[in-house]
Chains A and B, each alone.
Chain A
Amino acid sequence: EPEVTQTPSHQVTQMGQEVILRCVPISNHLYFYWYRQILGQKVEFLVSFYNNEISEKSEIFDDQFSVERPDGSNFTLKIRSTKLEDSAMYFCASSDPGYTFGSGTRLTVV
């Protein structure tokens, strides 16, 4: 069964450092998303991406966040200067129209 692949599974970074989270969506899907889940809280939408541009973003997705599809298969989320409150599970998803999530990257900012 097709799946969304995320790397790394766990990343520890120092506050103020840049991190890049990587995702390989399902190959024939056209819509891509990033969500996050702070420990013990609900899954929250960050951004959606279609046709090589952002189609929607939430209030959380401020100037320190960016997304990119550098080639035909990868989809990345960059956090420019990490803060302690960025610690969370980050999930990539793709849809067309079925909505499939990856297994997540646990980001720990210390």
Chain B
Amino acid sequence: EDQVTQSPEALRLQEGESSSLNCSYTVSGLRGLFWYRQDPGKGPEFLFTLYSAGEEKEKERLKATLTKKESFLHITAPKPEDSATYLCAVQAPRNTDKLIFGTGTRLQVFP
């Protein structure tokens, strides 16, 4: 069964304190791995899509990487406005376009 596990569940950082969020997945044939940011009461906001092991993408203070079993979202020198829940989702082939989500990592950045 396709599965996505995110860790840690929650993370508290001081402003400027860099860290990484983990997303491990088991899926038979990965079409894409997606990272989203979700603010309370809002919809997932797209950050990155990664398609193959070794791929990396960056946006401002965020950098996403992908291996054959997991993905990391690195946050460099975070600011309080980076506080949100970060969601990982995978898309597998087999004639499906659906995303399978993890439970997310709730990030709080304190000044």
Which residue of A4, A6, A44, A106 is within 8 Å of B41 (Cβ)?
A: A106
Which residue of A41, A56, A89, A101 is within 8 Å of B96 (Cβ)?
A: A56
Smallest beta-carbon distance B107→chain A, Å: 16
- B residues within 8 A CB of A100? 46
Segment among B18-26, B58-66, B71-79, B98-106 that sits at the interface with chain A: B98-106
Q: Which partner residue on chain B sits nearest A106 by CB separation? A: B41
Q: Is the CB of B98 within 8 A of A101?
A: no
Q: How far is the CA of A55 from the CA of B36 in the complex (A)?
A: 24
Q: How far is the CA of A44 from the CA of B104 in the complex (A)?
A: 13
**B111 CB–A CB distance under 8 Å:** no
What is the predominant secondary structure among interface residues of chain B facing chain A? loop
Interface string of B31-42 (1 = CB under 8 A from A): 000101000011
Q: Is the CB of A42 within 8 A of B102?
A: yes
Smallest beta-carbon distance B48→chain A, Å: 11
Q: How far is the CA of A4 from the CA of B43 in the complex (A)?
A: 10
Smallest beta-carbon distance A24→chain B, Å: 14
Say yes or no: A101-B100 contact (C-beta < 8 A), given A91-B44, A106-B41. Answer: no
